[in-house]
Amino acid sequence: MRITIIGTGYVGLVTGVCLAEIGHKVFLHDINQEKIKLLKSKKIPIHENGLLKLFKKHLEAKNLRIESDPNEALQASNIYFICVGTPQLRNGKPNLRYLFDISNKIKDYIDKNKLNNNTFIVLKSTIPPGTTKELQTKIFKKDIYKNVYLGSNPEFLREGNAVYDFMNSERIVIGSESKEFIRTIKKLYSPLSKKSKIFITDPQSSELIKYGSNAFLATKISFINEMSKLSDKVGGNIDDVSQGIGMDKRIGNEFLNAGLGYGGSCFPKDTRGLAYTFSKNKIPSKIIQSVIDINNKQRKYFFNKILKRFSKQELKSKSVLFLGTAFKPNTDDIRESVGIYLINMISPMVKNILIFEPIAKENSINALSKLNNVRFQKTSISKIDYDCDFMIIATEYPEFIKIPHKNLKKLKDRVVFDGRNILNREKLEKNGIEYIGIGK
Ligand code: UDX
């Protein structure tokens, strides 16, 4: 089938490349000409496992085409995947401007060309419940645009694993009032139907599934983070607590790791978006707001552990080895990264911070350029310079677990603050290294 992807950000690019991989002819379009230029030069703007290889493969095989002209992009197919950004306004309300702009462009294109063949508009961008319906009633009025079919088809891609997730997802959710839309989009995904369950519902429910999934996972994280404070108080080990709770299949042990809290482009935005949606609908909701508040306070809780261990006076002369600024391992994304927040909090208190970040270094250098006591290590993990006073871990890179204790002993104070609970206290203490984790 021929498909046009509108918006080649993280979601659009992964979706387009993977749709080409499952046998479709895909046209990628973006209003950002810089991005188009980059894509045309066979490069991609993000770091994502396996994506570049597939992108090049399908460009060469001509299953993928980059379209800079909006009319040509719309002409290329009659299935439009809308993957434009829905950034947030101050009050948590998602900004749907780009979504409405492109919808109006599609409408103008249909009007101008007097099209009356079937057109499918697939909404992949994360949108508040009711948005698909709103587009239908405000732009594509059913009595005029009889052959324009709309539906919601949210993504559940984890950064760093997005290609794998697309190809192996547990569910593909399609929400539409139109049988024609469901039939067509189901057919489009049929190469994946052996691995993924295709779940059909109405658009509002589909939109709620997206918000609800992310908010529920964020709730698990905030729940265990709140428990970690109690575990600290009573002398428990939150890793064991999490493991023990998660052994109950009804709960499961994923997303129950206590630490610095969640970051990234989805959880923070979607929890705020859901909280906004509750308040807009005048439904009092405490859970989501608490999840957000706990998450925002978790880094302060960790920061206070540093202040408890070292006086403000002592900190002034300390150099800190800081590991990890990406919001999670194996991505160059630093959006709402707790590591970046922490560095901004710690920097004014200490002499200097020496950062090691394996993937997101370039983005982090830009984000922290205003801090003059921050430097980045230019090396690989095996050659990190440990000539600092103490260490902080802020991202759960698996390679940080394997750092030999003899290296940690080079830290002058021999203290490690583990913001992701990835190291083993007993083993470190046996080697004379002080360990400060969260809830253990
Ligand atoms: C998430 C969802 O998993 C995905 O389905 C959705 O489509 C987009 O949002 P992503 O943002 O890539 O994906 O990150 P994810 O792997 O879910 O982790 C989010 C954050 O939670 C990270 O900062 C991570 O460090 C943190 N986290 C995760 C915890 O603090 N504890 C955990 O147990 C798990």
Instruction: Give CA–CA dist 315/262, Å, rounded.
Output: 27
| 346 within 8 A of 302, measured Cβ to Cβ | no
pLDDT, tens digit (0-9, with 9 covering 90-100), for 118-128: 999 999 999 99
- Burial of 29 (C-beta count, 10 Å sphere; 0-12/13-18/19+): buried
- Catalytic residue list contains 266: yes
Q: Kindly report the protein residue whose alpha carbon is nearest to atom 26 of ligand 1.
A: 262
Distance CA 440, CA 421 (A): 8
Mutate to test the pocket of ligand 1, among 213, 221, 400 (most ligand atoms within 8 A of CB): 221
CB of 181 closer than 6 angstroms to any ligand 1 atom: no
| C-alpha of residue 262 to centroid of ligand 1, in Å | 6
* C-alpha to C-alpha distance for 362 and 37, rounded to whole angstroms: 21
User: What residue type is 159 in one-letter code?
Assistant: E
The alpha carbons of the chain give a radius of gyration, in whole angstroms, of: 24
Checking 314-319 for CB contacts under 8 A at 24+ apart, the result is 315/349, 315/350, 316/349, 316/350, 316/351, 317/351, 318/350, 318/351, 318/388, 318/389, 318/390, 318/413, 319/350, 319/351, 319/352, 319/353, 319/354, 319/387, 319/388, 319/389
Our mutation pick for probing the ligand 1 site, out of 48, 239, 254, 262, counting the most ligand atoms within 8 A of Cβ, is: 262
- Which one, of 366, 369, 354, lies nearest residue 324 by Cα? 354
Alpha-carbon torsion angle 279, 282, 284, 286, nearest 10: -10
Q: How many CB atoms lie within 10 A of CB 61?
A: 9
Q: Tokens 């308040």 appear where?
A: 279
CA of 254, closest atom in ligand 1 = 33
The active-site residue out of 18, 83, 266, 388 is 266
Q: Which of 429, 401, 396, 398 is nearest to 414 (CA)?
A: 429
CA 379, distance to chain mean position in Å, is 27
Residues of the chain predicted below pLDDT 50: none
The CB of 159 under 6 Å from ligand 1? The reply is yes
Sequence-distant (6+) residues with CB within 8 A of 348 are: none
Q: How many CB atoms lie within 10 A of CB 175?
A: 27
Task: Report pTM.
Answer: 0.95
| Residue 180: predicted pLDDT | 97
The predicted pLDDT at position 379 comes to 84
Do residues 189 and 172 make contact, with C-beta atoms less than 8 angstroms apart?
Answer: yes
Residue 86, ligand 1, Cβ within 6 A: no
For residue 256, the ligand 1 atom closest to its alpha carbon is: 33
Ligand 1 contacts CB of residue 259 (under 6 A):
yes
Q: Does residue 157 line the site of ligand 1, with CB under 6 A? A: yes
Verify whether ligand 1 is closer than 6 Å to residue 395 (CB atom).
no
Q: Is 156 in the pocket of ligand 1 (CB under 6 A)?
A: yes
Find the angle CA(376)-CA(380)-CA(381) to the nearest 5 degrees: 100
CB of 376 within 8 A of CB of 400?
A: no
> What distance in Å separates the CA atoms of residue 335 and residue 26, rounded to the nearest whole number?
28
Distance from Cα 267 to the centre of ligand 1, integer Å: 7
Indicate whether residue 325 lines ligand 1 (CB < 6 A): no
Ligand 1 centre and the CA of 263: distance in Å? 7
Q: Whose CA is nearest to atom 6 of ligand 1?
A: 156
> Token pair 């989009």 is at which residue?
185
The enclosing H or E element of 420 equals none
Question: Which residues lie below 8 Å from residue 245, measured CB to CB, with a gap of 6+?
Answer: 251, 253, 256
Instruction: Give the 3-state secondary structure of residue 237.
Output: coil
Mutate to test the pocket of ligand 1, among 49, 158, 359, 421 (most ligand atoms within 8 A of CB): 158
CB of 221 closer than 6 angstroms to any ligand 1 atom: yes
Q: Which residues of 298-332 are buried (b: 16+ CB within 10 A; e: fewer)?
A: bbebbbeebeeebeeeebeebbbbbbbbbbbbbbb
From the number of C-beta atoms within 10 Å of its C-beta (0-12, 13-18, 19+), residue 111 rates as exposed
Q: Rounded to whole angstroms, how far apart are CA atoms 251 and 88? A: 31
CB-ligand 1 contact for 374 (6 Å cutoff): no
Q: Looking at ligand 1, which atom is closest to the CA of residue 220?
A: 33
Residue 140 CA to ligand 1 center (angstroms) comes to 35
Residue nearest to atom 9 of ligand 1 (CA): 266
Q: Which two tokens stand for residue 44?
A: 């991609």
Label residues 245-257 b or e (16+ Cβ within 10 Å = b).
Answer: bbeeeeeeeebbb
Ligand 1 atom closest to Cα of residue 162: 12
Our answer on whether the CB atom of 257 is closer than 6 Å to any ligand 1 atom is yes
Which atom of ligand 1 is found nearest the CA of 261? 30
Segment (H or E) for 174 = strand 171-175
Neighbours of 377 (CB within 10 A): 18
| pLDDT, tens digit, 9 for 90 and up, residues 22-37 | 999 999 999 999 999 9
